[in-house]
């Protein structure tokens, strides 16, 4: 008898399963007429069990390698053909986030002696957690390894690499290197920050330089916290100009002076890029972590978001040659007519003063050194609103040159030509 029950049990179970759906159905699937009645309140619908599908993140193919999501990989980039038999590769640190998001490129060392940017990109590239990153960060701390190895701004043939982008496959060494870097690395970017410092013994307050006439660049420039933003259309051949022209919003981030590491300027730049990544949704706001540590989330939410500071600018030039001795510091606010420094003629024992033509802030200045007549000694920023900055950027007016280069061109700089020595 027990054996018979064991044989009948599967048949009974099958019959119960077949009848189950009909017994459990508490409203008709296809009513004889009219609309189907609404399901009972509280009944879970199929869509309630389906979580939204996260966007699939695929490996990034770059420099003949695949960087899988949630990992960091250090690659090497070499310009085609090479310049010497002892060619040094440029490091390319790719952090591929586990979550979907934009590709941010951080580039430094286009000028080999501007080492603040090299340290900024190194710190950022190796501090990101790829498992919590939305998007990808491509960090290239040293583009011009040949200039870096010699402590020089230039390539071995004394060409300035930041005058040849996007470059060509046939042409000068600079043009070929620029073209290869543009195709191999920059083409993967959705947005780009190119780090520089002041040139030729000049120091710059941390600042973003951007072409504010382009809406996508203006929007990009708003994301760096309370960093100075200076309108600068840039010159043909600059990396940011070439990248923006092909649809990659790009800015130059200036910080400090060449040939030295300045920890305060580096820290400000790192904080600005971290703020950029928060604004663009690439990483969580550090304020969220503070809330988890016991701070009131409402208090954190009410904290004012640091806003960018938009500036117009003017250069103050020496009218005589001699020894420049400054009487102001970088970042200092000055009044119109205030003495900025003096130029001493050691032969005639004559001092001549440099005065501020307008009230503003010292956003760039020369180190104490020997200067010639016409030398750009101080860069004054004049605070303005974003609306006014954009309006002035769109007007046809002479562009004040930035960081004039006394050694690269023998003729006097022409402000109307918009010379910009980033």
pLDDT at 417: 36
pLDDT at 347: 93
What is the rounded (10 degree) CA torsion for 36, 41, 46, 47? 100
Bridge-based pairing state of the strands 191-196 and 99-107: parallel
pLDDT at 200: 84
Residue 123 predicted with pLDDT over 50:
yes
Residue 226 predicted with pLDDT over 60:
yes
pLDDT digits (tens, 9 = 90+) for 237-262: 999 999 999 999 999 999 999 999 99
pLDDT at 397: 55
- Average per-residue pLDDT in the chain? 84
* 213 within 8 A of 390, measured Cβ to Cβ: yes
* 399 within 8 A of 313, measured Cβ to Cβ: no
Residue 334 predicted with pLDDT over 60:
yes
**CA 171/CA 117 separation, integer angstroms:** 28
What is the 3-state composition of the chain as percent helix, strand, coil, each rounded to the nearest 5?
30, 25, 45
The better pLDDT of the pair 261, 16 is held by 261
Listed by start position, the domains of the chain span 60-285
pLDDT at 376: 94
Nearest by Cα to 357 from 373, 377, 334, 375 = 334
Cis peptide before 166 (omega within 30 of 0): yes
pLDDT digits (tens, 9 = 90+) for 353-370: 999 999 999 999 999 999
**Alpha helix locations (H) across 185-258?**
215-221, 239-245
Give pTM, 2 decimals: 0.80
Residue 409 predicted with pLDDT over 50:
no
Nearest by Cα to 105 from 82, 125, 84 = 125
319-355 CB burial, b ≥16 within 10 A, e <16: ebbbebebebebeeebeeeeebbbbeeeeeeeeeebe
The better pLDDT of the pair 395, 323 is held by 323
State in words which class domain 60-285 has: alpha beta
Residue 410 predicted with pLDDT over 70:
no
pLDDT digits (tens, 9 = 90+) for 128-165: 999 999 999 999 999 999 999 999 999 988 999 999 99
Residue 338 predicted with pLDDT over 60:
yes
The better pLDDT of the pair 341, 79 is held by 341
Nearest by Cα to 102 from 79, 124, 80, 133 = 133
């Amino acid at each position: 008898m027990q054996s018979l029950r064991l044989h009948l049990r599967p048949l009974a179970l099958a019959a119960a399963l077949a009848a189950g759906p009909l017994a459990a159905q508490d409203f008709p699937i296809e009513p004889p007429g009219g609309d189907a009645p609404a399901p009972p309140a509280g009944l879970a619908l199929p869509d309630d069990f389906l979580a939204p599908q996260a966007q699939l993140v695929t490996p990034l193919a770059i420099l003949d390698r695949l960087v899988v999501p949630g990992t960091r990989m250090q690659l090497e980039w070499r310009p085609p053909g090479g310049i010497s038999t002892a060619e040094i590769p440029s490091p390319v640190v790719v952090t591929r986030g586990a979550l979907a998001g934009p590709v941010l490129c951080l580039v430094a060392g286009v000028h080999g002696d501007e080492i603040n940017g090299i340290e900024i990109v190194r710190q950022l590239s190796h501090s990101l957690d790829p498992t919590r990153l939305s998007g990808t960060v491509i960090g290239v701390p040293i583009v011009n390894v040949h200039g870096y190895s010699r402590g020089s701004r230039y390539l071995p043939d004394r060409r300035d690499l930041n005058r040849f982008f996007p470059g060509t496959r046939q042409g000068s060494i600079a043009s070929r290197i620029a073209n290869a870097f543009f195709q191999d690395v920059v083409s993967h970017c959705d947005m780009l920050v190119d780090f520089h410092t002041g040139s030729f013994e000049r120091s710059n307050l941390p600042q973003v330089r951007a072409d504010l006439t382009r809406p996508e660049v203006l929007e990009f420039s708003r994301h760096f916290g309370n960093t100075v933003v200076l309108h600068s259309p840039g010159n043909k051949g600059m990396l940011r100009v070439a990248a923006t022209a092909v649809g990659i919003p790009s800015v130059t981030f200036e910080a400090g002076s060449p040939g030295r590491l300045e920890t305060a300027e580096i820290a400000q730049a790192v904080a600005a890029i971290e703020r950029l990544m928060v604004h663009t949704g690439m990483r969580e706001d550090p304020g969220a972590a503070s809330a988890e540590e016991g701070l009131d989330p409402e208090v954190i939410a009410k904290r004012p978001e640091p806003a960018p500071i938009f500036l117009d600018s003017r250069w103050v030039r020496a009218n005589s040659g001699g020894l420049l001795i400054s009487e102001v510091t970088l970042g200092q606010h000055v009044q119109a007519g205030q003495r900025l420094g003096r130029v001493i003629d050691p032969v005639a024992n004559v001092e001549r003063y440099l005065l501020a033509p307008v009230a503003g802030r010292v956003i760039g200045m020369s180190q104490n050194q020997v200067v010639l007549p016409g030398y750009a000694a101080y860069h004054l920023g004049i605070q303005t609103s974003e609306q006014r900055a954009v309006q002035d950027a769109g007007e046809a007016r002479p562009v004040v040159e930035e960081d004039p280069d006394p050694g690269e061109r023998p003729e006097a700089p022409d402000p109307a030509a918009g010379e910009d020595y980033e």
